Amino acid sequence: MKRITIVTGHYGSGKTEFSVNLALHQSNAGKRTALVDLDIANVYFRSREQRALLESNGIQVYGGSFDYEITAELPALSSSIRKPLEDPDCLTVVDVGGNDSGARILKQFAKYFTPEQSEHLIVINGNRPETSTLEGALLHIEQIQRETGLPVDGLVNNTHLLMETEAEHIQAGIRFCNALAEKSGIPVRYHCCAEDLCEKVFDGMFRNIDPGIRFPMKIYMRPTWLDR
């Protein structure tokens, strides 16, 4: 794992959920961790909304210029964002805005994203219309790479249907992302799965999936009012 992990993906892919879970995973493993929220293109789901949770787990959070006031938003970033990017002893998860337009912001921090210290992961939800086919997913990867100037180093399978997700949906996502990896030459870094479904998902023909790329996740970002 590189010191800086850049997380991109399409709107609705679950990249913010993955970013929060990844930061918590790193911190719980005893590693000094920061989360940088660069999502200023679509602020519906913002990783910094979970600041209290993250900071209680020892994770430094950096984001918009309003910092703690998340109800007031401008497309402006705090200058403090550069602090964890320049700290050689801090693992940093960078949660980037959705789609290629949201990822454009990475250009102003390009000097930190060298191959030696950073990796670029792209989150794929095989149930999103734009990335539900190999052609669509490959086009999305190409657009992100072209816009950011950063090659994608790994795929994150996060195929889901929100609260209606069942084991079969995630297993279909595993097959899809494995095919995408073969077609693109980009390896799968993680197969994400809600914790309560992991036993069912990684069973049968999926039992031999390397435990190192299985990624159990808790749901932190879904507002409860969406289920009312």
Q: What is the pTM of this model?
A: 0.90
Instruction: Report the pLDDT averaged over residues 140-163.
Output: 94
The predicted model gives 129-146 an average pLDDT of 96
Question: If DSSP states are collapsed to H, E and C, what string results for the chain?
Answer: CCCEEEEEECCCCCHHHHHHHHHHHHHHCCCCEEEEEECCCCCCCCHHHHHHHHHHCCEEEECECCCCCCCCCCCCECHHHHHHHHCCCCEEEEEECCHHHHHHHHHHHHHHCCCCCEEEEEEECCCCHHHCCHHHHHHHHHHHHHHHCCCCCEEEECCCECECCCHHHHHHHHHHHHHHHHHHCCCEEEEEEEHHHHHHHCCHHHCCCCHHHEEEECCCCCCHHHHC
pLDDT at 178 over 80: yes
Per-residue pLDDT at 66: 52
Beta-carbon neighbour count of residue 222 at 10 Å? 13
Per-residue pLDDT tens digits for 86-120: 999 999 999 997 777 667 888 889 999 999 999 99
4-227: CATH topology:
Rossmann fold (3.40.50)
Look up residue 120 and give its two tokens. 């670029």
Q: What pLDDT was estimated at residue 103? A: 79
* Residue 78 pLDDT class (50, 70, 90 cuts): low
Cα–Cα distance list, 1 to 22, 94, 192 (Å):
12, 14, 17
Whether 180 has a pLDDT exceeding 90, the answer reads yes
For the stretch 38-71, pLDDT in tens is 876 555 566 778 889 999 999 999 986 555 445 4
Q: So what's the pLDDT on residue 72?
A: 47
Question: Tokens 């799965």, residue?
Answer: 193
Break the chain into its structural domains and give their ranges.
4-227
pLDDT score at 82: 92
pLDDT (mean) for 135-152: 95
Q: What is the mean pLDDT of the chain?
A: 88
121: nearest Cα among 219, 228, 12, 14: 14
